Homo-oligomer: A and B are copies of this chain.
Amino acid sequence: MTDKDALLSYYERRTCSAQWMEFNRAFAAELSAGLPPEDIRQLFRRIGERIALALPVERCDTVEQLRNGFNARWEAIDWGFATLQEQADHLRIVHACSPLAMAFGPDTDDWASGFFEGAYQTWFAAQGTPPELRVQAEAAPTDGSPQVMLRLGRFQR
């Protein structure tokens, strides 16, 4: 039997539509050559904000409704899925299987973090989440799996 890591790695390689793979890789090379990393992260953050505005989620009453609302949007464009877990003082958001890592190449974890910070912050703000609560990316998983870890909570440096 082929092990799960081999299956996952096959699927991951195909996460990004073949139509935009080369284009996005070329675009990534241009960005890296022309802008400092923090500016690229901010650009992806703004792109994430725009996508959340373009794909609004209706008002939700529970965390589960919210997760379903987010995932209906992501599923429609084949961008993976979110898991939400309530913690003592924050909400943990894990976004898995997005095409970003495959599309822009290795070493762009920070771009993906910026993108999802922008997208989730915008969606939570539209739900009436108080502005002192911020979506912030946490360290990427060390096993290289295609996941972005974020937290919604009070701003932390």
Contacts and interface: CB of A to CB of B under 8 A. Distances in A.
Contact of A94 (B1, B21, B29): B1
Interface stretch (A4-12, A58-66, A123-131): A4-12
A154 interface: no
* Residue from A8, A16, A50, A81 whose CB has the most chain B CB atoms within 10 Å: A50
Contact of A80 (B10, B22, B149): B10
User: Max chain B CB contacts within 10 Å: which of A6, A16, A19?
Assistant: A19
A77 B26 contact: no
Interface in A40-75: 43, 46-47, 50-51, 54-55
Interface residues of A, number: 47
Given A17-B19, A78-B19, A94 B2 contact: yes
A17 to B, nearest CB: 4
Given A2-B83, A19-B20, A19-B77, A10 B96 contact: yes
A90 interface: no
Interface of A: 1-2, 4-8, 10-11, 14, 16-27, 29-30, 43, 46-47, 50-51, 54-55, 76-81, 83, 94, 96-97, 99, 141, 145-147, 149
Given A1-B147, A26-B47, 9 more contacts: A1-B149, A7-B146, A8-B11, A10-B80, A11-B11, A17-B20, A18-B76, A25-B54, A27-B47
